[in-house]
Amino acid sequence: MKLVSLNIWAGKELGPLLRFISRSSKDTDIFCFQEVFDNPSGVEKAANPITGAVYGIYGLICDALDGFSGTLSAPSTSYGQRQAIFTSGKVRAGSCGSVQLCAQEPTSFHGKSFARGSVLQWVEILEGNASLTVANVHGFWTADGKGDMPQRIWQSEHIAEFFGARKGKGILCGDLNLDPGTRSIGIIDADFRNLVKEYEVKTTRSRLVHPGISSFADYMFVSDGIEVRDFKVLDDVVSDHLPLMLEFGM
């Protein structure tokens, strides 16, 4: 199977993004996206700090992914930001859902006041007698960087608890908003293979990222028993993040 994870930057690079998704759909089984909006066309949220966000991006991705089924997470922010998982019709998907990791807390950025938290979205993949939980996370954001803080420690502990309660194997991916050397990453490392670390990835951010921003944010973790056939950070510039691609066997 092949999985692609990407923070889509709210669709700001709309044309290149949709072309990448359509092209990748030919040999991808699962897409995990972060920074997704499903507001009706033209309906904006004034408190959204993401200038240029495409508020109907979820519907546009649905149109680009013919033959895929999509699900949305609960919102992780007061302005409606979500995650989305799409599974190909070739994949047998089971139950799905989302759980809150960090409760929404008020903050401000560029003069806009809003609330942000974090949510884990998941879907169960079935193959023969085997089951796999794919979790898609957009981690707790702060303008102060991607270091440890109480909310992020709790977030990682909650992720570990979630997988500890699940049967079968697991994959965790997404924009965790964490630097590699944090205790928050170490908590997850204790139970998973950290492929960004293992493959000595130099950055998960594209040339569109603002200067001074951390080179890391995005991760791919796999549990024991997952056969990693290939893993790489793709060089497609369709966001301020780069897509992460995993080919695996259950």
Write the pLDDT tens digit of every residue in 145-189.
999 999 999 999 999 999 999 988 999 999 999 999 999 999 999
pLDDT for 136 equals: 98
What's the whole-number mean pLDDT along residues 95-118?
Answer: 94
What is the predicted pLDDT for the residue at 47?
A: 75
From 13, 10, 55, select the one nearest 236 (Cα to Cα).
13
> At residue 12, does pLDDT exceed 80?
yes
* pLDDT score at 240: 96
The confidence score (pLDDT) of residue 167 equals: 85
Instruction: Specify the CATH architecture of the domain 2-249.
Output: 4-Layer Sandwich (3.60)
Per-residue model confidence as pLDDT tens digits over 34-59: 999 997 655 566 678 888 899 899 99
Instruction: Say if residue 224 is exposed, middle or buried (CB neighbours under 10 Å; 0-12, 13-18, 19+).
Output: exposed
Average pLDDT of the chain to the nearest whole number = 94
How far is 104 from 161, CA to CA, in rounded Å?
Answer: 20
| Range with lowest mean pLDDT among 68-72, 76-80, 185-189, 219-223 | 76-80
Q: Count CB atoms within 10 A of the CB of residue 26.
A: 6
At residue 104, the pLDDT reads: 96
Kindly state the percentage of the chain with pLDDT values over 70: 97
